[in-house]
Chains A and B, each alone.
Chain A
Amino acid sequence: MTHYETILPQLYEILKPFAQDGQTLSDETELVADLDLDSMKVMEILLEVEERFDISIPLNVIPDVRTIKDFACQIEQLTEQK
Protein backbone atom coordinates (compact mmCIF):
# COMPACT_ATOMS: atom_id res chain seq x y z
CA MET A 1 0.00 0.00 0.00
CA THR A 2 1.47 3.38 -1.00
CA HIS A 3 1.65 6.30 1.37
CA TYR A 4 -1.05 8.03 -0.68
CA GLU A 5 -3.35 5.06 -0.20
CA THR A 6 -2.95 5.22 3.57
CA ILE A 7 -3.72 8.94 3.59
CA LEU A 8 -6.91 8.74 1.53
CA PRO A 9 -9.12 6.78 3.96
CA GLN A 10 -8.06 9.03 6.84
CA LEU A 11 -8.96 12.06 4.75
CA TYR A 12 -12.37 10.59 3.93
CA GLU A 13 -12.94 10.07 7.66
CA ILE A 14 -12.18 13.73 8.38
CA LEU A 15 -14.31 14.99 5.48
CA LYS A 16 -17.28 12.67 6.00
CA PRO A 17 -19.08 14.99 8.49
CA PHE A 18 -19.05 17.69 5.81
CA ALA A 19 -20.63 15.53 3.09
CA GLN A 20 -24.23 16.16 2.07
CA ASP A 21 -26.83 13.51 2.91
CA GLY A 22 -26.26 10.44 0.78
CA GLN A 23 -23.15 11.91 -0.84
CA THR A 24 -20.33 9.44 -1.54
CA LEU A 25 -16.82 10.79 -1.33
CA SER A 26 -14.22 9.88 -3.92
CA ASP A 27 -10.79 11.26 -4.74
CA GLU A 28 -12.42 13.32 -7.50
CA THR A 29 -14.86 15.02 -5.09
CA GLU A 30 -14.31 18.77 -5.20
CA LEU A 31 -13.94 20.37 -1.78
CA VAL A 32 -15.64 23.68 -2.47
CA ALA A 33 -17.99 22.83 -5.33
CA ASP A 34 -19.22 19.43 -4.12
CA LEU A 35 -18.93 19.76 -0.34
CA ASP A 36 -19.99 23.40 -0.33
CA LEU A 37 -17.27 24.34 2.14
CA ASP A 38 -16.90 27.97 3.16
CA SER A 39 -13.61 29.46 4.30
CA MET A 40 -14.36 28.81 7.99
CA LYS A 41 -15.03 25.13 7.36
CA VAL A 42 -11.88 24.85 5.23
CA MET A 43 -9.82 26.24 8.10
CA GLU A 44 -11.47 23.81 10.52
CA ILE A 45 -10.60 20.89 8.25
CA LEU A 46 -7.03 22.11 7.79
CA LEU A 47 -6.50 22.18 11.54
CA GLU A 48 -7.83 18.65 11.91
CA VAL A 49 -5.65 17.35 9.07
CA GLU A 50 -2.60 19.09 10.54
CA GLU A 51 -3.21 17.39 13.88
CA ARG A 52 -3.84 13.98 12.37
CA PHE A 53 -0.68 13.97 10.21
CA ASP A 54 1.50 16.20 12.44
CA ILE A 55 2.19 18.63 9.61
CA SER A 56 1.73 22.35 9.00
CA ILE A 57 -0.05 23.13 5.75
CA PRO A 58 1.20 26.39 4.23
CA LEU A 59 -1.53 28.78 3.09
CA ASN A 60 0.30 28.98 -0.25
CA VAL A 61 -0.73 25.45 -1.27
CA ILE A 62 -4.45 25.92 -0.63
CA PRO A 63 -5.27 27.49 -4.03
CA ASP A 64 -3.84 24.36 -5.70
CA VAL A 65 -6.15 22.03 -3.77
CA ARG A 66 -9.37 21.48 -5.68
CA THR A 67 -10.20 17.81 -5.17
CA ILE A 68 -9.70 15.30 -2.38
CA LYS A 69 -6.97 13.77 -4.52
CA ASP A 70 -5.13 17.12 -4.68
CA PHE A 71 -5.46 17.38 -0.90
CA ALA A 72 -4.09 13.87 -0.32
CA CYS A 73 -1.16 14.57 -2.66
CA GLN A 74 -0.26 17.73 -0.73
CA ILE A 75 -0.43 15.84 2.56
CA GLU A 76 1.77 13.11 1.08
CA GLN A 77 4.38 15.67 0.03
CA LEU A 78 4.33 17.45 3.38
CA THR A 79 4.65 14.23 5.40
CA GLU A 80 7.56 13.11 3.21
CA GLN A 81 9.37 16.41 3.87
CA LYS A 82 9.37 15.74 7.60
Chain B
Amino acid sequence: MTALLDKFRQLADAREALTQLSQDPFRVTIEQILSPTEARVNGRPMILAGTNNYLGLTFDPQCIEAAVQAVQEQGTGTTGSRMANGSFSGHLALEQELAEFFGRRWCDVFSTGYLANLGVIAALTGPGDVILIDADCHASIYDGCRMSGAEVIRFRHNDVADLYKRLRRLGKRCANTLIIVEGLYSMLGDRAALAEIAAAKREYGAYLLVDEAHSLGVLGERGRGLSEEVGVEDSIDFIVGTFSKSLGATGGFCVSDHSEVDLARYVSRPYIFTASPCPSVIASTRVALHKLRTEPALRVRLWNNARRLYDELKGLGFRLGPDPSPIIAARFGQKEETIAFWNELLQRGVYVNMILPPAAPDGGSLLRCSVSAAHTPDQIDTICQAFRSVKAALEV
Protein backbone atom coordinates (compact mmCIF):
# COMPACT_ATOMS: atom_id res chain seq x y z
CA MET B 1 0.00 0.00 0.00
CA THR B 2 1.51 3.31 -1.02
CA ALA B 3 0.74 6.66 0.50
CA LEU B 4 -0.61 9.60 -1.48
CA LEU B 5 2.67 11.37 -2.07
CA ASP B 6 4.87 8.30 -2.65
CA LYS B 7 4.44 8.69 -6.41
CA PHE B 8 6.63 11.80 -6.26
CA ARG B 9 9.64 9.82 -5.03
CA GLN B 10 10.60 8.72 -8.53
CA LEU B 11 10.31 12.30 -9.76
CA ALA B 12 12.43 13.59 -6.88
CA ASP B 13 15.11 11.00 -7.72
CA ALA B 14 15.06 12.00 -11.38
CA ARG B 15 15.44 15.67 -10.50
CA GLU B 16 18.25 14.91 -8.10
CA ALA B 17 20.07 12.96 -10.82
CA LEU B 18 19.58 15.84 -13.23
CA THR B 19 20.87 18.48 -10.84
CA GLN B 20 23.99 16.36 -10.27
CA LEU B 21 24.78 16.91 -13.94
CA SER B 22 23.65 20.48 -14.30
CA GLN B 23 21.72 23.31 -12.75
CA ASP B 24 18.03 22.40 -12.88
CA PRO B 25 17.23 23.31 -16.49
CA PHE B 26 13.56 23.64 -15.68
CA ARG B 27 14.11 26.30 -13.02
CA VAL B 28 16.16 28.85 -14.92
CA THR B 29 15.35 32.29 -13.59
CA ILE B 30 15.28 35.22 -15.97
CA GLU B 31 16.51 37.90 -13.58
CA GLN B 32 15.89 40.73 -15.98
CA ILE B 33 14.27 40.68 -19.38
CA LEU B 34 15.90 43.30 -21.56
CA SER B 35 14.28 42.89 -24.98
CA PRO B 36 12.51 40.18 -27.05
CA THR B 37 15.90 38.50 -27.52
CA GLU B 38 18.03 39.44 -24.49
CA ALA B 39 17.90 38.80 -20.77
CA ARG B 40 20.10 38.56 -17.70
CA VAL B 41 20.38 35.01 -16.34
CA ASN B 42 22.65 34.06 -13.40
CA GLY B 43 24.06 37.57 -13.52
CA ARG B 44 25.19 37.29 -17.12
CA PRO B 45 23.73 38.64 -20.38
CA MET B 46 21.99 36.00 -22.41
CA ILE B 47 20.68 35.80 -25.97
CA LEU B 48 17.26 34.21 -25.88
CA ALA B 49 16.90 31.63 -28.62
CA GLY B 50 13.97 29.65 -27.27
CA THR B 51 11.11 32.07 -26.72
CA ASN B 52 8.60 31.37 -29.55
CA ASN B 53 8.49 35.16 -29.83
CA TYR B 54 8.50 34.82 -33.60
CA LEU B 55 7.69 38.39 -34.58
CA GLY B 56 9.46 39.90 -31.55
CA LEU B 57 6.46 41.98 -30.54
CA THR B 58 6.68 41.65 -26.75
CA PHE B 59 8.50 44.99 -26.45
CA ASP B 60 6.77 46.72 -29.33
CA PRO B 61 6.06 50.29 -28.11
CA GLN B 62 2.55 50.39 -29.57
CA CYS B 63 1.62 47.02 -28.06
CA ILE B 64 2.94 48.19 -24.69
CA GLU B 65 1.14 51.52 -24.94
CA ALA B 66 -2.16 49.77 -25.71
CA ALA B 67 -1.68 47.40 -22.75
CA VAL B 68 -0.85 50.27 -20.38
CA GLN B 69 -3.84 52.29 -21.52
CA ALA B 70 -6.12 49.27 -21.05
CA VAL B 71 -4.84 48.72 -17.50
CA GLN B 72 -5.42 52.36 -16.66
CA GLU B 73 -8.87 52.49 -18.18
CA GLN B 74 -10.21 48.98 -17.48
CA GLY B 75 -8.16 47.69 -14.54
CA THR B 76 -5.79 44.79 -14.08
CA GLY B 77 -8.17 41.88 -14.59
CA THR B 78 -11.70 40.81 -15.40
CA THR B 79 -12.04 38.79 -12.16
CA GLY B 80 -14.35 36.23 -13.70
CA SER B 81 -15.81 34.32 -16.58
CA ARG B 82 -17.42 35.95 -19.56
CA MET B 83 -20.47 33.77 -18.94
CA ALA B 84 -20.95 35.12 -15.44
CA ASN B 85 -19.37 38.57 -15.51
CA GLY B 86 -20.03 39.49 -19.13
CA SER B 87 -17.64 40.18 -21.99
CA PHE B 88 -15.59 43.34 -22.18
CA SER B 89 -15.96 45.13 -25.48
CA GLY B 90 -12.29 44.30 -26.23
CA HIS B 91 -13.03 40.55 -26.12
CA LEU B 92 -15.73 40.95 -28.75
CA ALA B 93 -13.65 43.31 -30.87
CA LEU B 94 -10.72 40.88 -30.91
CA GLU B 95 -13.02 38.00 -31.87
CA GLN B 96 -14.38 40.06 -34.74
CA GLU B 97 -10.90 41.06 -35.88
CA LEU B 98 -9.63 37.48 -35.80
CA ALA B 99 -12.68 36.21 -37.71
CA GLU B 100 -12.15 38.90 -40.31
CA PHE B 101 -8.41 38.18 -40.56
CA PHE B 102 -9.08 34.51 -41.24
CA GLY B 103 -12.11 35.20 -43.44
CA ARG B 104 -14.34 33.16 -41.13
CA ARG B 105 -17.74 33.83 -39.64
CA TRP B 106 -17.12 32.83 -36.06
CA CYS B 107 -14.44 33.19 -33.44
CA ASP B 108 -14.16 32.26 -29.75
CA VAL B 109 -11.35 33.70 -27.64
CA PHE B 110 -9.99 31.66 -24.72
CA SER B 111 -7.75 32.64 -21.82
CA THR B 112 -4.77 30.55 -23.01
CA GLY B 113 -3.82 28.50 -26.05
CA TYR B 114 -3.95 25.36 -23.89
CA LEU B 115 -7.53 26.15 -22.90
CA ALA B 116 -8.46 26.84 -26.53
CA ASN B 117 -7.57 23.28 -27.50
CA LEU B 118 -9.23 21.84 -24.42
CA GLY B 119 -12.32 23.95 -24.87
CA VAL B 120 -12.79 23.43 -28.58
CA ILE B 121 -12.00 19.71 -28.78
CA ALA B 122 -14.08 18.83 -25.74
CA ALA B 123 -17.02 20.88 -27.02
CA LEU B 124 -16.94 19.57 -30.59
CA THR B 125 -16.57 15.89 -29.75
CA GLY B 126 -17.96 13.56 -27.13
CA PRO B 127 -18.72 9.90 -26.39
CA GLY B 128 -19.54 8.07 -29.63
CA ASP B 129 -17.36 10.38 -31.73
CA VAL B 130 -13.84 9.64 -32.97
CA ILE B 131 -10.76 11.86 -32.93
CA LEU B 132 -7.89 11.00 -35.24
CA ILE B 133 -4.75 12.79 -34.10
CA ASP B 134 -1.24 13.00 -35.43
CA ALA B 135 1.00 11.19 -32.95
CA ASP B 136 3.20 14.28 -32.47
CA CYS B 137 0.34 16.60 -31.48
CA HIS B 138 0.82 18.90 -28.50
CA ALA B 139 -0.17 17.86 -24.97
CA SER B 140 -3.07 20.32 -24.99
CA ILE B 141 -4.60 18.38 -27.89
CA TYR B 142 -4.15 15.07 -26.09
CA ASP B 143 -5.69 16.57 -22.95
CA GLY B 144 -8.61 17.99 -24.92
CA CYS B 145 -9.18 14.55 -26.44
CA ARG B 146 -9.20 12.94 -23.03
CA MET B 147 -11.60 15.55 -21.71
CA SER B 148 -14.01 15.00 -24.60
CA GLY B 149 -14.71 11.32 -23.87
CA ALA B 150 -14.46 10.56 -27.60
CA GLU B 151 -12.60 7.55 -28.96
CA VAL B 152 -9.04 8.72 -29.65
CA ILE B 153 -6.96 7.10 -32.39
CA ARG B 154 -3.42 8.16 -33.27
CA PHE B 155 -1.93 8.00 -36.72
CA ARG B 156 1.82 7.96 -37.38
CA HIS B 157 3.32 11.42 -37.50
CA ASN B 158 2.63 13.03 -40.88
CA ASP B 159 1.97 9.60 -42.42
CA VAL B 160 -0.91 10.21 -44.81
CA ALA B 161 -1.09 6.54 -45.84
CA ASP B 162 -1.62 5.61 -42.20
CA LEU B 163 -4.33 8.27 -41.89
CA TYR B 164 -6.10 6.87 -44.97
CA LYS B 165 -5.91 3.38 -43.54
CA ARG B 166 -7.54 4.47 -40.30
CA LEU B 167 -10.25 6.44 -42.08
CA ARG B 168 -11.02 3.36 -44.17
CA ARG B 169 -11.33 1.26 -41.01
CA LEU B 170 -13.78 3.77 -39.54
CA GLY B 171 -16.18 3.49 -42.48
CA LYS B 172 -19.47 5.27 -41.76
CA ARG B 173 -18.09 6.63 -38.50
CA CYS B 174 -16.04 9.16 -40.50
CA ALA B 175 -19.04 11.49 -40.37
CA ASN B 176 -18.44 11.62 -36.60
CA THR B 177 -14.69 11.97 -36.89
CA LEU B 178 -12.50 14.99 -36.20
CA ILE B 179 -8.96 14.88 -37.60
CA ILE B 180 -6.48 17.05 -35.69
CA VAL B 181 -3.05 18.16 -36.91
CA GLU B 182 -0.71 21.09 -36.32
CA GLY B 183 0.54 23.60 -38.88
CA LEU B 184 4.11 23.60 -37.62
CA TYR B 185 4.99 20.93 -35.08
CA SER B 186 6.43 22.54 -32.00
CA MET B 187 9.37 20.24 -31.36
CA LEU B 188 11.02 19.80 -34.78
CA GLY B 189 9.38 22.65 -36.69
CA ASP B 190 8.18 20.38 -39.48
CA ARG B 191 5.00 21.13 -41.41
CA ALA B 192 1.91 18.92 -41.59
CA ALA B 193 1.34 17.28 -44.97
CA LEU B 194 -1.75 19.43 -45.09
CA ALA B 195 -2.72 19.27 -48.77
CA GLU B 196 -2.88 15.46 -48.60
CA ILE B 197 -4.55 15.44 -45.18
CA ALA B 198 -7.20 17.88 -46.41
CA ALA B 199 -7.80 15.64 -49.45
CA ALA B 200 -8.26 12.62 -47.15
CA LYS B 201 -10.69 14.58 -45.03
CA ARG B 202 -12.74 15.54 -48.08
CA GLU B 203 -12.71 12.01 -49.49
CA TYR B 204 -14.01 10.45 -46.28
CA GLY B 205 -16.32 13.27 -45.15
CA ALA B 206 -14.61 13.84 -41.80
CA TYR B 207 -13.91 17.18 -40.12
CA LEU B 208 -10.47 18.78 -39.88
CA LEU B 209 -8.99 20.98 -37.14
CA VAL B 210 -5.58 22.59 -37.61
CA ASP B 211 -3.68 24.05 -34.68
CA GLU B 212 -1.74 26.97 -36.16
CA ALA B 213 -0.13 27.92 -32.82
CA HIS B 214 3.39 28.02 -34.24
CA SER B 215 2.48 28.96 -37.82
CA LEU B 216 0.28 32.03 -37.22
CA GLY B 217 2.26 35.05 -38.40
CA VAL B 218 4.96 32.69 -39.67
CA LEU B 219 3.49 30.94 -42.73
CA GLY B 220 1.22 32.10 -45.53
CA GLU B 221 1.28 35.25 -47.61
CA ARG B 222 -0.83 37.09 -45.06
CA GLY B 223 0.47 35.16 -42.06
CA ARG B 224 -2.64 33.02 -41.62
CA GLY B 225 -0.62 29.85 -41.24
CA LEU B 226 0.04 26.62 -43.09
CA SER B 227 -3.57 26.36 -44.28
CA GLU B 228 -3.07 29.58 -46.21
CA GLU B 229 0.40 28.65 -47.44
CA VAL B 230 -0.83 25.36 -48.86
CA GLY B 231 -4.03 26.88 -50.24
CA VAL B 232 -6.46 24.56 -48.46
CA GLU B 233 -8.24 26.97 -46.12
CA ASP B 234 -11.62 25.99 -47.61
CA SER B 235 -11.09 22.43 -46.40
CA ILE B 236 -10.19 23.34 -42.84
CA ASP B 237 -13.23 23.31 -40.57
CA PHE B 238 -11.61 24.72 -37.45
CA ILE B 239 -8.41 26.70 -36.90
CA VAL B 240 -7.06 27.01 -33.39
CA GLY B 241 -4.26 29.37 -32.44
CA THR B 242 -2.59 31.18 -29.61
CA PHE B 243 -1.64 34.75 -28.70
CA SER B 244 1.43 33.57 -26.82
CA LYS B 245 3.80 33.22 -29.75
CA SER B 246 3.69 35.60 -32.75
CA LEU B 247 1.27 37.90 -30.95
CA GLY B 248 3.47 38.22 -27.86
CA ALA B 249 0.82 37.86 -25.16
CA THR B 250 -1.30 35.06 -23.65
CA GLY B 251 -4.56 33.58 -24.87
CA GLY B 252 -6.04 31.40 -27.58
CA PHE B 253 -8.80 31.29 -30.16
CA CYS B 254 -10.77 29.16 -32.57
CA VAL B 255 -12.16 30.44 -35.89
CA SER B 256 -14.58 28.60 -38.14
CA ASP B 257 -17.48 28.97 -40.54
CA HIS B 258 -19.45 26.44 -38.50
CA SER B 259 -21.89 28.37 -36.33
CA GLU B 260 -21.54 25.62 -33.70
CA VAL B 261 -18.30 27.31 -32.65
CA ASP B 262 -20.40 30.17 -31.33
CA LEU B 263 -22.73 27.71 -29.56
CA ALA B 264 -19.72 25.92 -28.09
CA ARG B 265 -19.37 28.77 -25.60
CA TYR B 266 -22.38 27.36 -23.74
CA VAL B 267 -20.90 23.90 -23.27
CA SER B 268 -17.16 24.50 -23.23
CA ARG B 269 -16.01 24.17 -19.64
CA PRO B 270 -12.54 25.67 -20.29
CA TYR B 271 -14.35 28.71 -21.73
CA ILE B 272 -16.97 28.99 -19.00
CA PHE B 273 -15.13 28.11 -15.81
CA THR B 274 -12.12 30.36 -15.99
CA ALA B 275 -11.49 34.09 -15.83
CA SER B 276 -11.55 35.80 -19.21
CA PRO B 277 -8.36 37.37 -20.61
CA CYS B 278 -7.16 40.60 -18.96
CA PRO B 279 -7.95 43.86 -20.74
CA SER B 280 -4.23 44.60 -21.18
CA VAL B 281 -3.66 41.23 -22.86
CA ILE B 282 -6.56 41.78 -25.23
CA ALA B 283 -5.40 45.32 -26.02
CA SER B 284 -1.79 44.35 -26.85
CA THR B 285 -2.98 41.33 -28.84
CA ARG B 286 -5.23 43.52 -31.00
CA VAL B 287 -2.32 45.81 -31.82
CA ALA B 288 -0.03 42.84 -32.45
CA LEU B 289 -2.60 41.30 -34.81
CA HIS B 290 -2.77 44.60 -36.67
CA LYS B 291 1.01 44.59 -37.00
CA LEU B 292 1.04 40.99 -38.15
CA ARG B 293 -1.40 42.02 -40.91
CA THR B 294 0.23 45.26 -41.94
CA GLU B 295 3.97 44.69 -41.45
CA PRO B 296 5.00 41.78 -43.68
CA ALA B 297 8.63 42.89 -43.25
CA LEU B 298 8.53 41.22 -39.82
CA ARG B 299 7.94 37.88 -41.51
CA VAL B 300 10.71 38.52 -44.01
CA ARG B 301 13.19 39.22 -41.19
CA LEU B 302 12.03 36.16 -39.29
CA TRP B 303 12.59 33.88 -42.27
CA ASN B 304 15.97 35.39 -43.10
CA ASN B 305 17.08 34.64 -39.55
CA ALA B 306 15.52 31.18 -39.57
CA ARG B 307 17.12 30.11 -42.86
CA ARG B 308 20.49 31.41 -41.77
CA LEU B 309 20.53 29.58 -38.44
CA TYR B 310 19.16 26.39 -40.02
CA ASP B 311 21.79 26.42 -42.77
CA GLU B 312 24.62 27.15 -40.33
CA LEU B 313 23.66 24.40 -37.89
CA LYS B 314 23.09 21.94 -40.69
CA GLY B 315 26.50 22.85 -42.08
CA LEU B 316 28.00 22.08 -38.68
CA GLY B 317 26.57 18.59 -38.93
CA PHE B 318 23.68 18.80 -36.49
CA ARG B 319 20.69 16.57 -37.20
CA LEU B 320 17.79 19.00 -37.70
CA GLY B 321 14.14 18.85 -38.78
CA PRO B 322 13.43 18.21 -42.47
CA ASP B 323 12.96 21.84 -43.58
CA PRO B 324 14.03 25.29 -42.41
CA SER B 325 11.52 26.95 -40.11
CA PRO B 326 11.71 29.34 -37.15
CA ILE B 327 11.81 26.22 -34.95
CA ILE B 328 15.25 24.68 -35.34
CA ALA B 329 15.87 21.63 -33.19
CA ALA B 330 19.14 19.71 -33.00
CA ARG B 331 18.63 16.03 -32.21
CA PHE B 332 20.87 14.31 -29.68
CA GLY B 333 21.08 10.68 -28.73
CA GLN B 334 22.13 10.58 -25.10
CA LYS B 335 20.41 12.63 -22.42
CA GLU B 336 23.72 13.34 -20.64
CA GLU B 337 25.28 14.72 -23.83
CA THR B 338 22.27 16.98 -24.38
CA ILE B 339 22.42 18.33 -20.83
CA ALA B 340 26.16 19.00 -21.10
CA PHE B 341 25.69 20.78 -24.43
CA TRP B 342 22.86 22.90 -23.05
CA ASN B 343 24.97 23.94 -20.05
CA GLU B 344 27.88 24.91 -22.25
CA LEU B 345 25.59 27.03 -24.44
CA LEU B 346 24.35 28.76 -21.31
CA GLN B 347 27.95 29.43 -20.26
CA ARG B 348 28.45 31.08 -23.65
CA GLY B 349 25.41 33.31 -23.18
CA VAL B 350 22.89 31.46 -25.34
CA TYR B 351 19.64 30.12 -23.97
CA VAL B 352 17.78 27.41 -25.91
CA ASN B 353 15.09 24.93 -24.89
CA MET B 354 16.24 21.53 -23.71
CA ILE B 355 13.77 18.73 -24.43
CA LEU B 356 14.42 15.42 -22.70
CA PRO B 357 12.62 12.05 -22.97
CA PRO B 358 9.72 11.46 -23.07
CA ALA B 359 8.86 14.96 -24.31
CA ALA B 360 10.77 14.73 -27.61
CA PRO B 361 9.54 12.67 -30.59
CA ASP B 362 10.99 9.14 -30.95
CA GLY B 363 12.20 9.13 -27.34
CA GLY B 364 15.33 11.19 -28.11
CA SER B 365 16.56 14.51 -26.75
CA LEU B 366 16.55 17.91 -28.43
CA LEU B 367 18.11 21.32 -28.11
CA ARG B 368 15.43 23.47 -29.62
CA CYS B 369 15.98 27.01 -30.88
CA SER B 370 13.19 29.33 -31.87
CA VAL B 371 14.17 32.28 -34.02
CA SER B 372 12.66 35.77 -33.83
CA ALA B 373 12.32 38.61 -36.29
CA ALA B 374 13.89 40.68 -33.51
CA HIS B 375 17.18 38.73 -33.56
CA THR B 376 19.94 40.83 -35.08
CA PRO B 377 22.43 39.33 -37.55
CA ASP B 378 25.07 39.61 -34.79
CA GLN B 379 22.91 37.63 -32.40
CA ILE B 380 22.37 34.88 -34.98
CA ASP B 381 26.16 34.84 -35.47
CA THR B 382 26.68 34.49 -31.71
CA ILE B 383 24.21 31.58 -31.53
CA CYS B 384 25.96 29.82 -34.44
CA GLN B 385 29.38 30.44 -32.90
CA ALA B 386 28.23 29.04 -29.55
CA PHE B 387 26.97 25.84 -31.19
CA ARG B 388 30.22 25.53 -33.17
CA SER B 389 32.41 26.08 -30.14
CA VAL B 390 30.50 23.69 -27.83
CA LYS B 391 30.46 21.02 -30.54
CA ALA B 392 34.23 21.26 -30.79
CA ALA B 393 34.74 21.35 -27.01
CA LEU B 394 32.55 18.31 -26.34
CA GLU B 395 33.58 16.51 -29.52
CA VAL B 396 30.03 15.56 -30.42
A60: chain B residues within 8 A (beta carbon): 151-152
- Residue B139 interfacial (CB < 8 Å): no
| Complex CA distance for A60 and B128, rounded to whole angstroms | 12
Residue interface bits A6-40, CB-to-B below 8 A is 1, else 0: 00000000000000000000000000000000011
Contact B358 A82 (CB under 8 A): no
Nearest-Cβ distance from residue B108 to partner chain A, whole angstroms: 26
A59: chain B residues within 8 A (beta carbon): 145, 152-154
Report the nearest A residue to B149, measured CB to CB: A60
Contact B169 A47 (CB under 8 A): no
B363: chain A residues within 8 A (beta carbon): 40
Nearest-Cβ distance from residue A41 to partner chain B, whole angstroms: 10
Report the nearest B residue to A57, measured CB to CB: B153
Contact A56 B358 (CB under 8 A): no
Contact B153 A39 (CB under 8 A): no
B151: chain A residues within 8 A (beta carbon): 58, 60
- Residue B166 interfacial (CB < 8 Å): yes
Contact B358 A39 (CB under 8 A): yes
| Complex CA distance for A60 and B135, rounded to whole angstroms | 14
Contacts A39-B358, A40-B363, A82-B169: A58 and B152 contacting too (C-beta < 8 A)? yes
24 example contacts (A-B, Cβ-Cβ < 8 A) are as follows A39-B358, A40-B358, A40-B362, A40-B363, A43-B135, A47-B156, A54-B169, A55-B169, A56-B153, A56-B166, A56-B169, A56-B170, A57-B153, A58-B130, A58-B151, A58-B152, A58-B153, A59-B145, A59-B152, A59-B153, A59-B154, A60-B151, A60-B152, A82-B169
Chain B interface (Cβ < 8 Å from any Cβ of A): 130, 135, 145, 151-154, 156, 166, 169-170, 358, 362-363
**Further contacts, 10 of them, CB under 8 A, given A55-B169, A58-B130:** A40-B362, A43-B135, A56-B169, A57-B153, A58-B152, A59-B152, A59-B153, A59-B154, A60-B152, A82-B169
